[in-house]
Amino acid sequence: MLDAHCHFWSLGRGDYGWLETGGPGLDPIRRDFGLADYPGGRPVIAVQAAPSVAETRFLLDLARGSDSIRGVVGWVDLAAAGAADAVRDLAADPLLRGLRPMLQDIADTDWLVNVARPEALAAMAGAGLVFDALVTERHLPMLARFAGANPDLAIVIDHAAKPQPGPRDGWRAGMRTLARDPRIHCKLSGLLTELSPEERRDPLPALQATLADLLDWFGPDRLIWGSDWPVVTLAAPLIDWLALSEDLTAGLSAPERAAIFGGNAARVYGVAP
């Protein structure tokens, strides 16, 4: 098993704005989380949680000192004048496997297609980096345009674009469109924290409906399991999310489950399974 989405942070570094200024609901995770805190002992992909190159280097340093971090998804200001050089500089470290702008926190829904520099995106593709798309429903039409304009860039949709409780016509239409591109993959992560308080009391039905759609659109060969630890602990312990994920995929074949729980991530990010 490979956990394709987890975070490590040290608050003393001072660049986790969303965590430092967020409301009391974030209190349980407003502390340092290091490798020794991660439960389960499985290999992971470490994903950025701060919009800074400094945090990316922090994660790369962490990965160099551990056999469990197989790769890092970092951050570069893709709108900066020197973005392409910054991408190439970071990509010289083979542990860097992708980049992720924090699109959900940018007010301009079309920032990625209007502001991000094409030469920086070309540098990503040239270095074989994955574009992790931290998006919500409002971004999905834009992401389809972005994918069409960048055919050489591998794209992974984080947290299945955070489907919300209630009617999902926009989310379903947007995700169905994106899934038509065989180059785009989708992470089964972050889903528990998006459920309503009522749904969390019995999460299986709501999660079954979401997974049924994602399997129909992406198939088991383009879904990637991740824990979103430690953020997932705002809803449940990681072990509970893993147990739910195993229940949700119980009807799939052994090879399909192996793909979702590690094989697909290893292939897409180019790391050891």
Sheet holding 184-188, edge to edge: 3-6, 44-47, 69-74, 96-99, 130-133, 154-157, 184-188, 223-225
Query: Do residues 77 and 83 touch, judged by C-beta distance below 8 A?
Result: yes
**pLDDT value at residue 21:** 84
- Cα 46 to Cα 68: distance, rounded to the nearest angstrom: 10
**pLDDT value at residue 147:** 97
Q: Which residues of 202-234 are buried (b: 16+ CB within 10 A; e: fewer)?
A: ebeebbeebbebbbebbebebbbbbbbbbbbbe
Segments of the chain scoring below 70 in pLDDT? none
**pLDDT value at residue 84:** 98
Query: Do residues 244 and 204 touch, judged by C-beta distance below 8 A?
Result: yes
**pLDDT value at residue 273:** 74
- Cα 252 to Cα 269: distance, rounded to the nearest angstrom: 23
**pLDDT value at residue 37:** 96
Q: What is the CATH number of the domain that holds 188?
A: 3.20.20.140
Domain count, the chain: 1
Q: Which residues of 128-158 are buried (b: 16+ CB within 10 A; e: fewer)?
A: bbbbbbbbbbebbbbbbebbeebeebbbbbb
Of all helices (H) and strands (E), which one includes residue 216?
helix 204-218
**pLDDT value at residue 22:** 82
Q: Residue 174 is part of which domain span?
A: 3-269
Strand pairing class (184-188; 154-157): parallel
**pLDDT value at residue 214:** 97
